[in-house]
Amino acid sequence: MGTYEATSPADRGSGPLGTRPGKIIAVHLSYASRAEQRGRRPAHPSYFFKPSSSIGTSGGTVERPAGTELLAFEGEIALVIGTTARWVKPDQAWDHVAAVTAANDFGLYDLRAADKGSNVRSKGGDGYTPLGPGLIDARDVDPSSLRIRTWVNGDLVQEDTTAGLLFPLRQFVSDLSQHFTLEPGDVILTGTPAGSTVVSPGDVVVVEVDVPGTSASSGRLHTTVSQGIRSFSDIGSQPEVDEKQRAEAWGTPVEAPVEEDAPALSEELRAKLLRAPVAGLSAQLRKRGLNNVAIDGVRPNLPGSKVVGTARTLRFVPNREDLFKSHGGGYNAQKRLFDSVGAGEVIVIEARGDKGSGTLGDILALRARYLGAAGVITDGGVRDFDAVAATGLPVFSQGAHPAVLGRKHVPWDTDVAVACGGATVLPGDIIVGDDDGVVVIPPSLAEEIADAALVQEDEDSWIAEQVGQGRPIEGLFPLNPLWRERYEAWQKKQ
C-alpha cells in the first residue's frame, strides 16, 4: 500500500488528496437499487471520465448555471489508488487502494443530450466532484462492509451499502487496470444508489461513507448549491430538457413495459372472480386441460379471506453465503418488489417449498398493504406471523417460522417466471385464492373460466338444496336429462 500518502486538504482543487488526481473515473450504473429505478441492469460495469478540475472540498459550493434547472447530486464511495495497478486480478485489486472517502458526483441533466454517455459537459463542471473531508485507510476496512448515506437539508435521502452493488469494488479496480494504468492518486467514483434527485440553489447536500458499528468514517462532506449568473452561449450545445431527462433527474422509477394487447383484469372480471370459488375455478381449468395450475401446500393466514389479483413475482435461490453478501443486503430484490407492488396485485414468491425461514415479515406486509396489494402467496414460511395477520393483508404460506430470510434464501430477481407450490406463475397471470387453496389462471382464459365457474356454482347450489330436502344423489349429481330439465325450468323463474 505504502507509496501513496493522504494529506490534509491543501486547496479547493484537490479535496482531501493534497494534490489533484491524474484521472477521475466514474461508474455509470452500479447499485441494484439504482438499476431497478432506471429499469435496466447492466451485465458489466461501464465508465466515464471526469476532469480533475471538477474536484472540490467540503464546505464548498457547486454552481447551477443560469438557464438550467436539473442539477442533481449523487452520493458515492470514492476509491483513491495507492500503488500503480496494471493487469491486476480481482483478489489483488484492493491491495492497490490506499483510501476510501465520500464523493458527490454532481451532474447537470440539461446538458446530457450533448455528450450522452461521456458526460463531458454534464458532469465536468468546476466543483462537480467534491471529495472528503477525510480519508479512511483501505487497509482497515472490508470493501464489502462500507455504507453510503446522503442528506439534503438534513433529510436522509440515500442509504445503501456495498452489499447492494451489482459489482464488487475490487472488480472496478481490476477491470480498469486491464485498459490503462491506474496511478497513485487516481480516483474511482463507484456509482450511486437510488435516491439521487434534483437540488436547487440554497440546498445543502451532505455525504458520508462509513463502516457501521465502527469509528471508520470519511466525515461529512458538505456542499451548498449556488445560482450562477452566466448562461451558456450559442458557440456550443445549449441546455435541452425533455420529460425523460426530467424523470431521470428527479429519480422517477421507470415502469416496466406493458404489452398493449395484454388482457387486463377489469373491475367486472375481478368481481366475478371474487364470487367464484377456487374449487369451481379449478374444475373449469381442468375441463380445459389445465391440471397443473394449483399452488400446493399453502394456507391463508386469515381464514375466510379471498385473494384476486394479477401476479408480481419474486424468485429466491438457495442461500449461498457469497451470493447473499452480494444480493441479500441493501435495497435487494425482495424490498424493491414490496416497495413497488401496485394496487390489486398479488406478490407470488418462489421459495422452492422450503418453509425453514421467513420469506416476509410484518414490515414488508405493512408496506404491501399500504400500497393496496391484494395479497401475498409464498411456498415458504412467514416471520412475525401474527403481526402479519394483524396488518389485514391476506398471505397464503406454509405457516410460521421465526428465522430470517438469509437462513435459507437469497432474493434474486423479480417479475420473471417462478415456480410456486409446484405451479408455474408468470408476471400478469391471474391469481385467485380462498380457504380451498390458490389457482393460477392464464389471463386469456380468465373471463371464460369465471363465467363457467359461476354457472356451475349456481347449479351446484341448486343441487345441494335438493339433496338437503332428502332427494337421492343418483341422477341429481351430476344432473341427468330429467333433472337438467327441472333445473333449467327453475332457472327461468329466477
Do 428 and 342 touch, CB atoms closer than 8 A? Answer: no
Q: Which of 319, 309, 246, 271 is nearest to 69 (CA)?
A: 246
- The binding site comprises 361-364, 383-384
Q: Which of 39, 50, 98 is nearest to 74 (CA)?
A: 50
Give the bridge partners for 26, in sequence order. Answer: 48, 189
- The binding site for substrate comprises 361-364, 383
Q: Which of 307, 432, 423 is nearest to 373 (CA)?
A: 307
In the three-class reduction of DSSP (H, G, I as helix; E, B as strand; rest coil), residue 328 is classed as: coil
Grid cell 443486503 — which residue? Answer: 329
| Cα–Cα–Cα angle for 394, 445, 368, rounded to 5 degrees | 20
Q: At what angle do helices 446-468 and 278-287 cross, to 10 degrees?
A: 120
Distance between CA atoms of residues 467 and 471, nearest Å: 5
Q: Which of 330, 295, 334 is nearest to 315 (CA)?
A: 334
* Residue 360 burial class via C-beta count within 10 angstroms: exposed 0-12, middle 13-18, buried 19 and up: buried
Distance, C-alpha 320 to centroid of its chain: 20
Q: Which of 277, 254, 255, 259 is nearest to 443 (CA)?
A: 259
- The binding site for Mg(2+) comprises 384
Alpha helical stretches, state H, 94-223: 112-115, 169-177
Amino acid at residue number 279: A
Q: Dihedral through CA 323, CA 329, CA 332, CA 334, nearest 10?
A: 90
In the three-class reduction of DSSP (H, G, I as helix; E, B as strand; rest coil), residue 223 is classed as: strand
Phi/psi of residue 200, each to 5°? -125, 160
Q: At what angle do helices 333-340 and 362-370 cross, to 10 degrees?
A: 30
Helix (H) or strand (E) holding 267: helix 267-275
Residues sharing a CB contact under 8 Å with residue 91, sequence separation 6 or more, in sequence order: 170
